[in-house]
Every structure is written in C-alpha cells, then in structure tokens.
Amino acid sequence: MNRLRTSGPWLRALPALALLPLLAGCGDTGGLVAAGATPTASGPVHLWPDRTGASVPPADPGGAPPEYVKGIPPVHDQDVHGVDPVALVQAELRAHPNTGVGADGMPAQTAAAIRACVAKEEEGEDAGPEACPVLTPYYRDLTGNGKDELVVGIEFPDQMMSVRVYTADPDGRLNRIMATTQTVISVELAGRDVVLRVPSGNRGYELITAWSWDEKQLTMLPTREQIVRVPAGAQGPSNRGPGPGPGPGLGPGPEPVMRPRLPAWTATLT
C-alpha cells in the first residue's frame, strides 16, 4: 500500500516558496521612497553682538488710566446698547475742543459735520448716513466680562477714520479703551479682536493689525501684525458683501474671515 509521505526536501521547501510573491512585491508602488537629503536646520545669527541695543520701558503695573467720557447719562447695568453714539462723540468734542492730533484729534470739518448731525436729530430731521460722519455702531464682548462693548467708527476725509471702543463699568461710567486714527481699508471683528486692514508702506502689500484687550493694562492694545501681499484682482472693501450688522446679543458672535489669507510676515507684539 502506498502511503503519503509527510517529510522530505520538497515539503521543507514550501515555506520558502510561499515567501517569493511577498518578496517580489517589495519593489511595487506604495513602498517607502526616499525624499532626498534633509536641509540642515539653521538658527538665527545674532549680528553685531557687541552693540548696545535699545531698551524697552516696562509696562505700567497699574495699567492705563481710564478714559471716562464726561457729559453723557450713566449706563445702567453696563448695557452700552442704550448709548447714543452721536451724542457720545459730541460729548468727547466738548471735552476736547479744537484738538487736531492724538486719540481725540479730529479735523475741523468732521467736527462741524458731527455737530450739524446732532442739531438735525434734535430737530427731528434725518441726518442720513452720508451727512453724519459717525457710523452705525457695533457691539461685541471684547473684554471677556460677559458684557458687550461699543465699537464706534468716525469717517474722516481722505479715507481716514477713527475707530473707538468703549466699555461701561459697574458704576455706570463709560470708559474708552481703544482709539486709533488711520487710513483704513476695512475693519473687522474676529473673536474678541478688532482687526484693522490698512495700506502698508510698500506697494502691493497691506498691514493687518489686531487690537486685543490687555487685562493688566486695562485697555486694548495692538497685539498682532501681519504684512500681507494683496493678490492681483483681490476683492476690495467696496465690492465685498456686507459684514454682520450691529448685534443685540452678548458673546463673541460669528467669526469673520480675515482676507486675504496669505500671511507673508507675522509679528506678535508683547
């Protein structure tokens, strides 16, 4: 009777034969491929190390003094929605008359237009958005205290504008925590930041600055800057759709998109 052989050289060779297809597939597409030589990491080189550099004065440990607005009614329950922005700017004009430069600086023709706008409103007439340099206000919690701040824009000649932010304290006083005047492309709210896009000193580039609340200084400061190349045919503020209007609610609100999204250089200001 013939019996099946369970040993022999041919049987011992079976595992090696089974490995042949696997070994042949190692060179197929999908295997590891060398990406080339890795460039050597190079850290910054400190030039002229013996030179004595400029010093940065320390921040005031007590924070910036409050800029209370005088001549307006008290704000109840820190609710800035009831503040008339035109009357607010008018009160600042009375407190700082004939001021041409600085945080309270304003061209004479702009100040006259604001006074005329207030006079027309008192007479029951509609001044209209073209006649009144004080733009429609926006509201956003920028300090993180659960209460909205008041964001006011004032149009100046030559496409310049003043952007001001106010917060109300528990005693009902209105405190101005931001004031800057620049040639502005657009203004956006991103989270708890006020973002300004302005022309840079180089053609084809714009400067994007984010103003943020500083809890230690008790004011809003420019904390981040980007110099961004403007792509050819990029949308300008005149042909973009309108942003979110003045919001009655609390909280950070929707996140606007920061355009263009091509950062070329970023600096964090601390």
Whether the predicted pLDDT of 135 surpasses 90: yes
Question: Which residue matches tokens 């003045």?
Answer: 246
pLDDT band at 256 (very low <50, low <70, confident <90, very high): very low
Helix (H) or strand (E) holding 214: strand 205-214
Residue 243: the pLDDT is 45
Q: For 172-219, write each residue's pLDDT tens digit.
A: 999 999 999 999 999 999 999 999 999 998 999 999 999 999 999 999
Residue 28: the pLDDT is 56
Q: For 24-68, write each residue's pLDDT tens digit.
A: 555 556 666 777 777 777 888 999 999 999 999 988 887 888 999
Instruction: For the beta carbon of residue 149, count every other beta carbon within 10 angstroms.
Output: 24
Share of the chain above pLDDT 70, in %: 69
The set of residues, in sequence order, having a beta carbon less than 8 Å from that of 204 and lying 6+ positions away, is 229, 230
Q: What are phi and psi of 200, to 5 degrees?
A: -90, 180
